[in-house]
Amino acid sequence: MYKFTSSGFFMSINKFIDYLKHEKNYSSHTISAYHTDLKGLQDFLQEEYEVIVKEATYPLIRSWITNLMDEELSARSINRKVASLKAYYKYLRVIGELDVNPLEHHKSLKTSHKVQVPFSKKEVNQILGTSYDAADFSSVRDVLIIEIIYITGMRRAELIGLKVNDLNLHSNTILVTGKRNKQRIIPLIRSITEKLSIYLKMRDQISDSETTELFLTNNGVKLYPSLVYRIIKTYFSEVSSKVKKSPHMLRHSFATHLLDEGADLNAVKEILGHASLASTQVYTHTSMTMLKGVYKNAHPRSIKKK
């Protein structure tokens, strides 16, 4: 999938991809993104300047960035592509194939920090409280997917990667494999383990003995990302007018609602599988209940006189 067929550039890319896969344990999705970014730059440099990525100077890279801006890519998307290039140049430095990193002094493009408004508790409860066809596999699966993301806060890729053996219905826990194959155990509430037991019986009727994934399509094969996205978007379109309706937004809502109820930030960090607390603190920006509580209890003009 990631192999090139000619030139030293392509060989070094192959080595870099192997490094990301075997040494850094990056997911196939991330590796594919790196590959696409570097191939896009190489095509641009070859067409415009007849040079390869390893020989590119900063002015040439800046022209590529300008071209991306002309194509109306967002600053966030461009920064991600540049990050792929930075990682490649860093790798070349480490293995001794590059003396100077042309992006050493590059500054990322400024991005607008739009506040992502999570689903409200009312919106989530509307979906989870809606009656569905208990005899229909897809209906049972779809609602269960929504509930398990909301109960655990797991990522879409983590949900898709779940195995039947990751479930422990006796201890009410689930083993989740996150980024870079890091694993964490998340507790489950009893109500969802009962629904999982029902789902497993239905799943056994459409799957063969060799299928290990927990969540399957109607054809008995592993879920795919766009299906999970479509499930979330379809259901939340019925109850929410928010622009963004995605699995990540449901994960975002999980974290925000926990913090609203006073959950410890470090505990939320562990459940989400974040490497640093800074990643989890993003969710405090939209935890309005918490912010209002702090404001009410701490602001001098808000404190009632005794």
Query: What are the catalytic residues?
Result: 155, 179, 248, 251, 274, 283
Q: At what angle do helices 137-152 and 225-237 cross, to 10 degrees?
A: 90
- Name the nearest CA neighbour of 235 among 122, 151, 135, 124: 124
- Whose structure tokens read 């960035």? 65
Q: Determine how many CB atoms are found less than 10 A away from the CB of residue 7.
A: 11
- Name the nearest CA neighbour of 285 among 72, 156, 117: 117
- Whose structure tokens read 């191939």? 39
DSSP bridge partners of 163: 213
Distance, in Å, from the CA atom of 35 to the CA atom of 19, rounded to the nearest integer, reads: 12
Distance, in Å, from the CA atom of 208 to the CA atom of 185, rounded to the nearest integer, reads: 27
